[in-house]
Chain A
């Protein structure tokens, strides 16, 4: 039995942060869960999917975060406790409903989990989502450990119900993707025994309709009127603690910041010496506790991950209360306001701010090591051996090179975003030349712009309508197509933008761990079935030039793209090829014998394919049999036919 449904109250087990959040939601009697995949948040829904095999609980991967959010809110309105989970960037997609549902509040408990990614390990930004709670006047839980994450998720539903407001729970990579020991609590009944119903005028007239009388302004006033209830909860919550200390020196920490701080205080022998305000709720601050804390502190250091959210609340409060206190944190760069914090940074900050009570620490000699100089080499990430994107990108590269004018390739989010990572590129990086054609050495240098979900196709339209002379191209995957590209493609048709969209349909939301996309076959063993056909949709949208090609035939991709480029107006090329990892999983396929023959001239053309199964030794190409799955792409690109063997993807 998996941990998520382990029925053993009080047992301590190892759980990843995301599993702990899911377990907490389950113990809190959640009945609907929805999400769009996004690292580092995806395991929350995956765990609940597992739980839905045992419990009566509806769980779905939605097409995007906004839809998932609204599903969860809808569930709340009819009395079912719900959770929606997303990554930092996903939160931006829910801003519209998020900022508005708070005016009416919710009915059954609703939990919004956002996994932020300080350090941008898997994300295009480092945004701090706690700001959303400030913006929207809601409570933001911020756990410091897996155990606390479980407890907060469990408790959030009853808090949400007593306040009649959704609760935000902000996690970070180091919590979501780290594991710790947690104590299991009681599982809910298999079936929801709570009341389900819908009352249009629940407690207030036209409750679930922001425009309904007495109107949005009065509903905004209602939200503001919850302030005292919220304050009462945060003041008395066991997740906020104030410990008095010997000296008038204070430390405030929040969320994972507390995990670093607890240990740093031990290391520096500060336990019991400082005033210590430990927050599990990052917004709003418990004002009575904060006041007492500030009154007993002359200097304060704030330790939190992300933006100075707690720090700025504290500064505002100190100013309002005319407290004479020096506050240190990210605003004055005692801790860096970008990147991740860690134990070393926290210790340094403590030493900087409290020299009077920290014993001169023997400086650990930096282990300068002449023997290691230049020894470490990188291990770059690449597309997988046999990845269909390798073929599509080869075709795209050739098609671009055939163009007289300079094209612009606008990327998007998915495995294929690696086309913008710049691996192995050896050209100079700065140039003032607007008309320079940069060499594309591998698929990893093919993308010219890369931002967020769905941005590529709209950027291309702006470029094209501005009169850029070359072809403006966008690439996107199947999951992104439905998530964000669909309205932008309709826009391109409506406004007749002269762009080409290359859809890389690999049938899965691959990068986040192969969650189903709308083109995934509902039958795992028969991949010929599709729930939704991108080709049919593009045609129905009124695109006049559409090509459906095989990603494993780079020449076919190239020719289709060249024809699409020649067309004036919106054109779409759909390159199909199922994610090779999934093909291997299904067919247990192994290397059948693709080999480089003696005819190899060592020209390195095949290396430009970017396939990690092609290696180069002693001036000859070689196939790594442990990685190769005989997709046949390298055979097709070799100019001297020096690669022999399988060609299974045709």
Chain B
């Protein structure tokens, strides 16, 4: 078995934690993992992509266009990673809530339209599922549960090989006890959303 997932986001959104939760869920199932991270020198607010590789693997990074699943906590970062790593048969889950980079704020670049981001990804992988995951995190009770929303969505993707409970348990083991409930609420909202879009 081999499953490649790339989690993309902006520093501070929790994409690295999400990738470690996925990896720990797999280890708990007795399966080997590698997690590679790519980020610039930025202390905060930089682009972060975490490569999670599950199964018979040894390289920490996913090869070009070999990601079975891309989880994007931010649309521009989903685009950046998708154009490089999304496999033709791959699945992309895209939060549609943008965090424009400073390059846009200073007027040097224009943030791409969400519609165009989705089209560009659809031209590579056939399964692009875009929704406002930040809104679901707010509904769950805390914007910072965005990564749990995305993990919930992951649990409902057809190619995800484990029961959704495995991810829930890995979340509980990792998040502070007092945020357990809100994270699980977020997880379920993400899961339900994905089941409506592309259920198991």
Contact = CB atoms under 8 A, between A and B. Distances in A.
Nearest to A417: B41
B76 A372 contact: no
Interface in A328-355: 342-344
Contacts of A379: 10, 45-47, 76-77, 80, 101-103
B123 A369 contact: yes
A607 interface: yes
A267 to B, nearest CB: 9
Interface stretch (B106-114, B134-142, B190-198): B106-114
A4 B38 CA distance: 24
A378 interface: yes
A529 interface: no
A344 B105 contact: no
A612 B27 contact: no
Given A178-B36, A511-B43, A612-B105, A377 B59 contact: no
Contact of B58 (A259, A372, A418): A259
Given A263-B59, A367-B88, A581 B44 contact: yes
B58 A263 contact: yes
A179 B35 contact: yes
Interface stretch (A311-319, A380-388, A462-470): A380-388
A371 interface: yes
Contacts of B34: 145, 178-180, 259
B166 interface: no
Contacts of A377: 76, 101, 103-104, 109-112
B105 A424 contact: no
12 contacts: A13-B24, A175-B60, A181-B27, A256-B60, A259-B59, A371-B120, A372-B79, A372-B120, A381-B42, A382-B102, A612-B105, A616-B106
Interface in A231-282: 256, 258-260, 262-263, 266
A510 interface: yes
A546 B117 CA distance: 54
Interface of B: 10, 20, 23-24, 27, 32-38, 40-47, 56-61, 63-65, 76-77, 79-80, 83, 88, 100-112, 116-117, 119-120, 123-124
Contacts, number: 147
Contacts of A358: none
A615 interface: yes
Contacts of A382: 42, 45, 102
Nearest to A617: B105
B61 A342 contact: yes
B63 A343 contact: yes
Nearest to B86: A367
Contacts of A581: 43-44
> Closest 4 A-B residue pairs measured CB to CB?
A381-B42, A178-B60, A379-B101, A377-B109
A511 B63 CA distance: 30
Interface residues of A, number: 51
A13 B45 CA distance: 29
A424 B60 CA distance: 32
Contact of B105 (A342, A376, A426, A614): A614
Interface in A18-50: none
Contacts of B61: 174, 342-343
Contacts of A175: 60
Contacts of B44: 384, 581
A545 B57 CA distance: 61
Contacts of B117: 375
Interface in A575-597: 581
A382 B108 CA distance: 15
B27 A14 contact: yes
Contacts of A179: 20, 23, 33-35
A379 B74 CA distance: 12
B111 A14 contact: no
Given A180-B35, A259-B59, A367-B124, A375 B79 contact: yes
Contacts of B42: 381-382
A383 to B, nearest CB: 9
A278 to B, nearest CB: 11
A489 B37 CA distance: 39
A12 interface: yes
Contacts of B112: 375-377
Nearest to A382: B102
A144 interface: yes
B20 to A, nearest CB: 6
Nearest to B33: A181
A299 interface: no
A121 interface: yes
Interface string A112-138: 000000000110000000000000000
A343 B59 contact: yes
Contacts of A343: 59, 61, 63
Nearest to B64: A344
A177 interface: yes
Contacts of A144: 58
A415 interface: yes
Given A181-B27, A415-B43, A263 B57 contact: yes
Given A181-B27, A259-B59, A381-B46, A607 B111 contact: no
A380 B101 contact: yes
A423 B102 CA distance: 10
A616 B100 CA distance: 12
Contacts of A256: 60
A369 B101 contact: no
B65 to A, nearest CB: 6
A344 B83 CA distance: 16
A599 interface: no
B18 to A, nearest CB: 13
A364 B41 contact: no
Nearest to A611: B102
A174 B60 contact: yes
B128 to A, nearest CB: 12
Given A343-B59, A612-B105, A381 B41 contact: yes
B3 to A, nearest CB: 14
